[in-house]
Structure formats: structure tokens, C-alpha cells
Chain A
């Protein structure tokens, strides 16, 4: 996020929420949005194919067909530029590429956008004006924007929109992805990615390679690794032989599961380090018992880049150990000495990660967490990015054309399936399904289907149904819901017995390699 949670909500005049079912997936942020509307009179714009909870508080709700996000965002910019609501001073001083961008968005008139997305032209115009006229407008988005075969384009388009209106580098504004997992920000910051070392330092750069090689006393590989969504291909090509998985459950969370399972079976050796015997662990050759968040010390970095402490409250069960201890024991087998003391490791992180250089356990304690970048110990941390100057120098405005989703509904598979989460559950639900309180409300998988569609198919609420895609089929139960529009069904990926990712397709964004979880074509039959 460019801005902090409190800032992007309580300081904003207008809040644009898109591709985020905030009340279900980030309930506490939804509370802030509501507070901004109810107490501060902020205006809320929701753009989402689903009638999410926050629609009740919205000034205006636009309901595009799933996919085609670039079209409506370009449409927003079209209206803003035509009404002279863009911030010329900011554009001139802080960005480049405006003329090229202008040329592309010129064609995205509200009428043209209506053709593509189904959003009525006058509604789009009204919403764009609300956003464009605000002194400070923030954008909140999540996987509804990113999990598309053109997810990168979607994000860049939102950045374009924020930049041409000067909504970057100031209070109550920004482009704010709500991150879905406790430490997904930290895992990225720490270099848990195939192309970068800690602090986003590219691996395919000689200087970086030298720096880390000397820091770690080993010669590092200068070739980029492959992103996880490419694992199936690598296995099929015979290039990948072993997989070491620490706290992940890809056999529920990854796309096109039937195909992935076949690939995983071909591997020579699999290690899984986890707290439960997950669907993935079943395939392992060695399973190591790990510790959960309540059983260890360390830090997590939240969605607003705030580094916060994790503190040990209880001991892990039996012989289970925290991942840091396990890794140091394994390193010892390889003849390398690693510390298993979290604070020692954090000191090493500070040394090699410029964004974390000024953060210490003591400062986290004293300041209720510290937001990176924090270059030195005198620096207060950075709750808002790009203040005064865009980090890149000039913000790059990228002209982008709309691309439709890879798989479109047809006669054989007439429905669009879009996937996501439910309030009570988290990810592959290995934790949440083992908590009585959460299972009480959400014990079984359900597929949300529009009442009109259900009527046509002769399906009642709670009926068993079979959902088929070109890749496989799952048996689940119907939930009649007017939250989804006609022609769209919604399923969540929490339930392994009706693993929705059996249906999803392996279509990836060319840059981010993120799968298109928000659009695939399915057919629905009564079981």
C-alpha cells in the first residue's frame, strides 16, 4: 500500500473500492471504510461484479462483468480528462507519458466502456467525476484486480488513474492493495521470490550477486528462478526433481489441480514442513512438524508495510519446532551455521535490506510497529510513499488497452466462475476448519448462484450440484444469492473436498505470473 490503513480511509474525501470484498476478507479495514463514510462523510465508490457488503454504504456502485477492468479504468480517465479534472501540475512535474496515455484513453468513451463492461455510461461518468473532483481520493483493491491474465495491466491502470489526478504521495490518497495473508508483504520483502534478494534487489545483477555471495559466504546463482505457477511446466520438462515446501498447501491453492497433482507425483523427492498433514503433505517423502504463530518469536509485516512483533505464547506440541530452528538444524547438516535466534536474524536482515535498515526490535516495541522504508535509526518510518517525489523519479504513465479474459463463457460452459474467500475462513482452511467458531458458520462449501439462474436450472438453495469446467468437476451445494449477477457464480477455495481450483485454468499474467482466478467458464448440473 502507498498509504496507511487509517490514512487511506479516515483522511480520504473519496474512497474507490474495487476487486476487494473488504468486509469478508479484511473486516477491520471495512470497519475503517464504514467509519470514513458514516462519521467523516467520505464518498464511497464501489466497482465490483459482486454486490459486496460495502455497497450498502456506497454513493455509487458500478457492476462490470468479471474481467475487463482496464476498460472501466480507462473510461474513468476519459471522463476525467474530458472534464478537465486531471491535475496538470502534478502530471507535468511528477509523471511522464501523459500524451501517449491520453491517446489511448480517448477511445474509451463511456459509451464504448458500456459496450465492453455493461456499466451504464451515465453511471460511469458520475463515478469518474466523484473520483476526479475529490481533493484526496484513495483506491483500495485486492485480488479482484490482480488475479487476471492481465492483472499487471489492471494495477498499472489504477496507478495511471491515481497519478493523473495527483492522488499519489499525499494524505487520504494512493493506490492501496489489501494484502491477503498475515506476512505476504514480509515474505516478498525478505526475497521469497524467484527474481529478487531481500529488499527487492534483483538477483540477475552482478553487483547484487557479489554482495550477497560475500555476505553469505557462498557463490549465489545469477540466473533468475521460476515463479511457482511455472512449477507444473518445469516438472513436465523434466527440469524439476525436488520440492521443499515450508507452510504452503499448493494442492488446494494453485490452479488446475488435477494437472498439478499429476506433475507433483512425478517428482523424485518432496519435503513438507507444516503444522498439519495437509493435502500437499500427503504427497511428501518427508514431513517436518512446524510451529504456528502463537509458538514463535519474530516479526510480520502487514499490508501497510508496518513491521510488527510476533511473540511466543505457548510451546509447540510434541517435538514440533519453529521453522527458524528447523532451518538452522538443516543448515547444520550441510555444514553451515545459522542462528535460530529471531532477533539475531533480524539484525542480519537490517544489514542487507535497505528498507529495513533503521528498524530494530526495540523500535518496533516502542512505536507500535514501524513502516518501511526506514533507512536509519533516526528515521520515523514511512506510512505514506512517494511524498514530494515519486520513488522512480517520474511516475510512468503507461497506455494500456483492454484485454478480455482468456476463457469466455459459451454454449457448453455458459457461466463465469469467479473465486475468492469467505469471512469465516482463511486460504486452504487448514487452520480455520479446525476452529469450532469458524466452522459453526461456514461448515461446508457452497457455490453462490443468482436466483434467476437457479430458477432456470431448477436448483434450490442447498441442493447438491456438479460444477464442470474444461479441466475437471467438483460436487458442491448451491447457495442462492443475489450478490452475484446473472451468468456469474462464486465459489471459494477453502474446501479441499470441493476444491474449486480443480476448475480454474492455468492462464497466467505474462509479468506477474498470477493465475486468472476471477474468470473461467463452467457448466452447472444438478447432482
Chain B
């Protein structure tokens, strides 16, 4: 199926894209950045924030680049004094709905709003309105805290809940100044944290761990989730040798940033007090702590004795679908070449 191509100019540069492409996508193809706030690659354009307004020659008004499809031969301007003012005012209006409480916000340092306010040199809140205090309402899941006063109503969370997870646990409730994101169907929430993942501000924050930190106070290590076989890429946020949060990166891995409850909130077992910390040897029916040397020597002696008496096939090794490739390889190599048996298997069938 051949797609119909449309030719247009953005900031004087020519580009050809399939019909139906938005101005924002076409600009991205040229490497031209248009500031955005409510737009998210995986969601249908929302068009609520007015940050991506662009001028098109011969059009009456500036248009939102995220929602406007390209037309043949149009000429788009992505940066001008007028656009700077429009975007700056859009941000100022957002700040009506957002206290500048950055010093106490978990999102500080990785907040889209903070970055844009900085970029657009907004040094004071000009518009003041006495808004009702929305406080910290109960959210759809106990593992996310909703800071209702920080919500700029970009609607990303609601859209992600509906489009990515196919649920509708949250929606807009109320009108005018009272309008807010609220839980409409608690049962529908699967605690996947997709809303938390797409929130561009600190209106939704992780509530599971009581140790909080900000971007520069901990390390983020990208790894592969240890649960099901999808192989989601996630980031373990580490503070003083402790995993305090799981985050994910948009577009990265087979999951493209999405996770489920297990991947996002199921990490606490890592630091469980029940973890085994020392080798144990059973003596008279009870486990007794032992040194590594003692435990390994005993294993070697016993396995050697059994092998000599009953042959290598009297020993069986269960390797693991939880362990790495390197560990699995080494395990079967040990059994095949040192013990001398092919009695190796794992829980692939279970």
C-alpha cells in the first residue's frame, strides 16, 4: 500500500511526509523541536496545553502542532515573538493551577513544567486567583500520591489510563475552577502506574517507599524486569544500596515505558528481611550457619561420593528460568562436564 506524500516547509526547510502526519511529527522528522506539555508519543494528541502552537502562512490563527495535520505546500513557522508570548502566557496560565513548591516536590529536576518555566524565563506568578484548596485526595491506588493542587489538567494520566491500559479508573470531575482529576472507578485501577509514568509534573508521585530522593541524589540503573517473559526495561532507583523506586523510560524496550504492578511496585522483596544471607547446613534436622568453604566442601564431598557409588546419572540439577543466561550456561556446563550427566532441567513446563 503506497502512502500519499505531502510536501511542506517548516522554518524554511522542505520535508515530505505521509498524509495524516501532524505538523509536530513532521517537525520532529526535521529535528526541529516544538515545546510540548500535554503531548505524549504513545497517546492520541490531547491538545489541552497550547504549548505547541505554531504559525502557518495564510492561516488566520496560530494552530496547535500536535493536532494539526500537514497540508500540501503549507509553510510553518515554529518560533517567533508571537509564539514565544503565546507559549509564555500558556505557561503562566498553567501556573495558576500549580504552586511553585518545587523545593519540596519529588519531581524537582525532572519536571516538564519546571523546565519550561525556566526556559521561558517566567520569574513570577502574575495571575492570581483564589482557588479552592484541593489537598491530597484518595487516589485510585494506595501506591501513588495525588497532589491535586499541582495538577495542570493536561489530561495525560486520564488518556493513558484509557488508551494504554484500556481502563477508566480516573476522569475529570467538576467544572470550572472545581474541575479536577479524580477517581471514578477504583475497581478498574490495576496499579500499573501508567498515569504516574506520563504525568509531566509532580501531581502524581510514588508513595510506596518512605525514602524519597530527587534525581541527583540517587542512581538509576536500567535493567530487565525479573518477573514474566515480556522483558520490560525498567530503571531501579538506588539510594545507599537500597532500591527506593522503579521508573521507566518512554520508548525504551519491548514495553516502551509501560509496566504492570509487578514491575513498577513489586520490588520490595529485594530488601526483605527473609533473604538468605549465609550458607546453611542441616545438622540433626536443624539448619546451622556455615562458612562458604565448609558448605562448598560438603557439597563437593557428598556429590563425589554419590557419583562414585551410583554413577553420574544418580545426580540431578535443576537450573532456573529466573537466573541469567550466563548462570544457566555455567550450571549446565558444570553438570555436563564435571558431574558427567545430562540430568538437567528447569521449570519451563510449569
B329 and A348 form a contact (CB under 8 A): yes
- In the complex, how many angstroms separate the beta carbon of B24 from the nearest chain A beta carbon? 18
Contacts of A284 in B (CB 8 A): 282
Q: Which residue from chain B places its CB closest to the CB of A274 in the assembled complex?
A: B276
* Interface membership of A387, Cβ < 8 A: no
* Interface membership of A180, Cβ < 8 A: yes
Kindly state the interface size class of chain A when it binds its partner: 35 or more
A183 and B324 form a contact (CB under 8 A): yes
B267 and A217 form a contact (CB under 8 A): no
Interface residues of A in 191-229 (CB under 8 A from B): 191-195, 197-198, 203, 212-213, 216-221, 223-229
* Interface membership of B320, Cβ < 8 A: yes
A303 touching B302 in the complex, CB below 8 Å, given contacts A186-B324, A243-B316, A286-B280 = no
Most B Cβ at <10 Å: residue of A181, A190, A321, A328: A190
A287 and B316 form a contact (CB under 8 A): no
How many residues belonging to B are interface residues under a CB distance threshold of 8 Å?
A: 107
A328 touching B330 in the complex, CB below 8 Å, given contacts A28-B259, A225-B345, A436-B208 = yes
* Interface membership of A345, Cβ < 8 A: yes
Task: For the complex, give the distance between the alpha carbons of A423 and B343 in Å.
Answer: 33
Task: For the complex, give the distance between the alpha carbons of A365 and B350 in Å.
Answer: 31
A247 touching B229 in the complex, CB below 8 Å, given contacts A192-B345, A218-B338 = no
B231 and A182 form a contact (CB under 8 A): yes
A277 and B276 form a contact (CB under 8 A): yes
Contacts of B190 in A (CB 8 A): 27, 423
- In the complex, how many angstroms separate the beta carbon of A221 from the nearest chain B beta carbon? 5
Pair count A-B, CB < 8 A: 452
A330 touching B318 in the complex, CB below 8 Å, given contacts A182-B228, A253-B347 = no
Interface string of A289-305 (1 = CB under 8 A from B): 11011111111111110
- In the complex, how many angstroms separate the beta carbon of B44 from the nearest chain A beta carbon? 8
Of the listed stretches A29-37, A103-111, A117-125, A410-418, name the one at the interface; the rest are far from the partner chain.
A29-37
- From A56, A294, A333, A369, B253 is in contact (CB under 8 Å) with A369
Interface majority SS on B: helix, strand, loop or mixed?
mixed
- In the complex, how many angstroms separate the beta carbon of A338 from the nearest chain B beta carbon? 6
A437 touching B229 in the complex, CB below 8 Å, given contacts A244-B317, A302-B254, A304-B254 = no
Interface string of B250-291 (1 = CB under 8 A from A): 001111001111100111111110111111111000010010
B269 and A434 form a contact (CB under 8 A): yes
Contacts of A212 in B (CB 8 A): 336-337
* Interface membership of B322, Cβ < 8 A: yes
A293 and B268 form a contact (CB under 8 A): no
A311 touching B298 in the complex, CB below 8 Å, given contacts A182-B322, A247-B320, A248-B347 = no
Contacts of A216 in B (CB 8 A): 333, 336-337
Q: Which residue from chain B places its CB closest to the CB of A323 in the assembled complex?
A: B327
* Interface membership of A268, Cβ < 8 A: yes
B345 and A193 form a contact (CB under 8 A): yes
A346 touching B326 in the complex, CB below 8 Å, given contacts A240-B316, A289-B279, A314-B238 = yes
A192 and B319 form a contact (CB under 8 A): yes
A287 and B191 form a contact (CB under 8 A): no
Contacts of B233 in A (CB 8 A): 308, 368
Task: For the complex, give the distance between the alpha carbons of A323 and B222 in Å.
Answer: 21
Task: For the complex, give the distance between the alpha carbons of A220 and B332 in Å.
Answer: 11
Interface residues of A in 479-516 (CB under 8 A from B): 512-515
A438 and B261 form a contact (CB under 8 A): yes
* Interface membership of B331, Cβ < 8 A: yes
A246 and B331 form a contact (CB under 8 A): yes
B238 and A313 form a contact (CB under 8 A): yes
The residues of B with any CB-CB pair to A shorter than 8 Å are 142-143, 163-166, 190-192, 208, 219, 221-233, 236, 238, 241-243, 252-255, 258-262, 265-272, 274-282, 287, 290, 292, 295-300, 302-303, 306, 309-310, 312-338, 340-350
The residues of A with any CB-CB pair to B shorter than 8 Å are 4-6, 25-31, 34-35, 38-39, 56-57, 146-147, 178-195, 197-198, 203, 212-213, 216-221, 223-229, 231, 234, 239-248, 250, 253-254, 268-269, 271, 274-277, 281, 284-290, 292-304, 306-315, 317-324, 327-331, 333-334, 336, 338, 342, 345-346, 348-349, 368-369, 423-424, 426-427, 430-432, 434-438, 440-441, 512-515, 517
**Extra pairs beyond A221-B342, A243-B316, A426-B266 (18, CB < 8 Å):** A38-B166, A183-B322, A218-B336, A242-B303, A244-B316, A246-B318, A247-B323, A269-B303, A276-B272, A300-B231, A318-B278, A330-B300, A346-B326, A432-B262, A432-B266, A435-B269, A437-B266, A517-B350
Q: Would you give 11 A-B contacts (Cβ < 8 Å), ordered by A?
A: A190-B332, A220-B342, A240-B316, A242-B316, A253-B347, A286-B295, A287-B287, A311-B221, A311-B223, A324-B324, A432-B266
